Amino acid sequence: MPDNAGSAKVRGMNNADLIVATLKEAGIGHGFGIPSGNVLPLIEAMRKGGIEFVLTAHEGSAGFAADVMGRMTGRPGLGIATLGPGATNLATGVGDAFLDRSPMIAITCNLNRDQLGRRIQMLIDHHTLFRPITKASFALRPGRIGETVAAAIRIALTEPQGPVHLDLPEDVTLAPAEECSPVPGDIPAPDSPSPESVAEATARIAGAKRPVAVIGATAMRLREPDLLRAVVERHNLPFATTTMAKGMVDEDHPLSIGCIERARRQVQRRFLAGADLVVGLGYDPIEVEYEAWIGTVPLVHLDIEAVDTDGSVDIARQAVGDLDAILEGLAGTEPAANDWTAAEVAAHREAFQASLRPDAPGFAPHRAIDVVRRVLPRDGILAFDVGAHTHQIASQWTAHEGRTFLITNGWSSMGFGLPAAIAAKIAAPDRPAVCLIGDGCFQMTCGELATAKRMGLALPVVVLNDGWLGLIKVKQMRRQYAHVGTALGTASGPDEGSTPEHYFGVPAVGVRTPERLGEALEAALAADEPCVIEAFVDPTHYDDTVFD
């Protein structure tokens, strides 16, 4: 690998400095984690080398934040942990990046090399831990530090993107650097699709009378995301999205029908069953497999990877390779008429949205979600978490831009929302952001409020407090099980208008009506610090909307 003549000189550098210089060269500006004695030399190198270390309350949160930093910046996020329990905690966030296809570098700071492989306090085999949930796991060794870190960056950014693990013994960290910091090098593009496959897919779409497109998570990483809009408009394709792909085309678009496989999924399935062709645009089945919803409708699959289905799916055509190139081909072909009318698509969209807002007693979650959507500007960022509210938000929320709707739908781990919002606000400090999470998720990560406070982030955290693990409660009910292990006991709280409580110095206020939520959120978005707004909601309508 060629040396970078403009990089820092080896003289006076240790390997920690070299690692930081290589990461900095790749555009990485922040690393998330928790210190230990083994981690301190790397943190000191980060301080000197211009990469900010962000102290989180838990290494799992550090992993989630690094995942989202990768999504937001297009450069690998950086998560850092000590050995043993630090590594196992970080692994949750690394798994998130692996299944959600986010570029990330995960560094575990280990004991000295002469202690590796022994039965010593905290010591485990980090490579065995991380190998199943990363694209690669490397041991950092003197003389190959720069090239290994540069290779890790290239691998993380090569499609399908994902995390790479680096294990760093402390004696290696402190040893004098023996190399120059290399340039990470060009990221290889996906293979070009065969012209024949693109032509065949185009002909199949042109021959359909009622084709429907479904946009998936790979589309989030397009170099030219406007190609999606060009394709659906040119071929008059009503389009749905998976959860993570919301906003890649403005959902106010007249051809948009909303999100699939979340709340009121049967309404969407009935519409899709009326199509005579489904066109998967960057559809990654890591979110939801095709066979869960496609039925007998033939499929044209367009993605960086070959289709992954069971034998029940009718695969009419597929074009595999560089998704930008595939979409460019589709956008440049002659449009063909189909039978869809604007009125038909609009009627479905309106019916779907109405079904998500049933008459419900009290302060229903759907009313709270509508308030947040109304108050948050169109270009604002929403980060949310996993639970019953995920289904409602994914179907109900109107997303206007890509990378403004942050959720995990491959790994689907609770605890994602607040670290994700923190990372998004660090990556895009001038854009308004809101974290919208359930009370169970909040209990998992409320310590990260201290992170937001320490970083000086203007970040409202809206907690939908219904006193339950709502999604699991609904599943218990449908199986006719007793409600055991799902009551959180948090639904009682301060009366409206009472003196605000606080978490770790972050002010908190309780609200019990849509009007008060709107007022509190407007004030929080105008503030210069984080704030918790605890919305006490009645979850009754989840019983009907989440799985129907």
pLDDT in tens, 300-311: 999 999 999 999
pLDDT in tens, 187-223: 988 999 999 999 999 999 999 999 999 999 999 999 9
Distance CA 8, CA 20 (A): 10
Whether the Cβ atoms of residue 52 and residue 423 lie closer than 8 Å to each other: no
The partner residues of 506 in beta bridges, in order of sequence, read: 503
Average pLDDT for 305-324:
96
Whether 546 shows a pLDDT value over 90: the answer reads no
Whether 130 shows a pLDDT value over 60: the answer reads yes
Do 195-346 and 356-545 show the same overall fold? yes
Average pLDDT for 241-246:
98
pLDDT at 8: 43
Rounded-to-10 torsion of CA 523, 524, 525, 526: 50
DSSP designation for 128: H
pLDDT at 489: 64
Whether the Cβ atoms of residue 25 and residue 185 lie closer than 8 Å to each other: no
For 179, list phi and psi in degrees, rounded to 5: -135, 170
Whether 3 shows a pLDDT value over 80: the answer reads no
The partner residues of 384 in beta bridges, in order of sequence, read: 436
- The DSSP annotation for 97-126 comes to HHHTT--EEEEEEE--GGGTTS--TT---H
The partner residues of 116 in beta bridges, in order of sequence, read: none
pLDDT at 492: 54
Whether 4 shows a pLDDT value over 50: the answer reads no
What length is written for the chain? 548
Whether the Cβ atoms of residue 418 and residue 501 lie closer than 8 Å to each other: no
Whether the Cβ atoms of residue 470 and residue 389 lie closer than 8 Å to each other: yes
Whether 499 shows a pLDDT value over 60: the answer reads no
> Structurally, what CATH architecture does the domain formed by 15-174 represent?
3-Layer(aba) Sandwich (3.40)
Average pLDDT for 93-114:
95
DSSP designation for 187: P
3-state secondary structure of 508: strand
In 481-520, which positions are buried (b, 16+ CB within 10 angstroms) versus exposed (e)? eeeeebebebbebbeeeeeeeebbebebbbbbbbebbbbb
Neighbouring C-beta atoms of residue 469, cutoff 10 Å: 23
pLDDT at 490: 61
Distance CA 503, CA 450 (A): 8
Region label for 198, one of left (φ > 0), alpha (ψ between -120 and 50) or beta (otherwise): alpha
Fold held by 356-545: Rossmann fold (3.40.50)
Distance CA 532, CA 284 (A): 35
Distance CA 72, CA 424 (A): 7
Neighbouring C-beta atoms of residue 162, cutoff 10 Å: 25
Whether 9 shows a pLDDT value over 60: the answer reads no
pLDDT at 480: 67
387 vs 406, residue with greater confidence: 406
Q: Band of the pLDDT at 471, cuts 50, 70, 90?
A: low
Distance CA 228, CA 282 (A): 10
pLDDT in tens, 164-179: 999 999 999 999 999 8
Distance CA 239, CA 447 (A): 39
What residue ranges do the domains of the chain occupy?
15-174, 195-346, 356-545
pTM here? Answer: 0.92
CA 259 to chain centre: 16
Fold held by 195-346: Rossmann fold (3.40.50)
68 vs 504, residue with greater confidence: 68
Whether 505 shows a pLDDT value over 90: the answer reads no
Number of DSSP helices (H) and strands (E) in the chain, helices first: 20, 19
List the single range of 110-124, 272-286, 347-361, 431-445 with lowest mean pLDDT.
110-124
Region label for 329, one of left (φ > 0), alpha (ψ between -120 and 50) or beta (otherwise): alpha
pLDDT at 540: 77
Average pLDDT for 285-290:
97
Distance CA 138, CA 95 (A): 17
Whether 263 shows a pLDDT value over 80: the answer reads yes
Q: Tokens 């389009």 — which residue?
A: 239
